Amino acid sequence: MKQTLALLWLLVLLGVLAHSVLGFVPMLYGGEPLKQSENLQGLLWQLTLVFTAYLALALAVLLSEASWLKWLNLIASGFFLISNTLHAGVHLFLSPIEWHQVVLLALVAGINAVHFKNSLTYLKSI
C-alpha cells in the first residue's frame, strides 16, 4: 500500500508539472505566458512549495508507518483533490478556454481521487 500511495503522489506531481510547463509554452512562440500573473516570482515560489509537498509526502509515506503521517497523508490528499478539481473548474471560465489544461487537470483530480480512496484504506490499517 505504501508504494502505491507514493507512486500516486508522484503521478499527481507529474500532472501538475505538465500543467505548469504548458502554461509557459506560449512564451516559446512569442505569446505571453501566465497572462493573469503580474508577480512571476510569487507564482514560482508557490509552485516550488507544491512540488516540494508532493515529493516530501511520497518520501514520508515510503519511510514511515507513523499514525500521524497516515492522517497527514489523508488530509493532504483531500486538500489536493479539492484544489485540483477547483483548478480544473476555474480554467472553464478563462477566455479562451484551454481545453488541454482542463483535461489534464481533470486527469490529475481523478488520480487524486484514487489516491484519496487508497489513503482511507491506508488509514484504516492503523
**Domains held by the chain: number:** 1
On the 0-12 / 13-18 / 19+ scale of CB atoms within 10 A, 61 is: buried
Cα separation, 61 vs 39, in Å, equals: 34
Q: What is the mean pLDDT of the chain?
A: 82
Predicted local distance difference test score (pLDDT) of residue 51: 82
Please give the model's pTM, rounded to 2 decimal places: 0.72
Above 70 in pLDDT, residue 25? Answer: no
Residue 39 lies in domain: 2-124
Residue 39 in this model has a pLDDT that exceeds 70: no
Cα 41 from Cα 107, distance rounded (Å): 27
Per-residue confidence (pLDDT) for residue 27, from 0 to 100: 62
**pLDDT per residue over 102-126, tens digit each?**
998 899 899 899 999 999 998 888 6
pLDDT at residue 109, as a whole number: 92
Residue whose C-alpha is closest to residue 58's, from 76, 79, 78, 83: 76
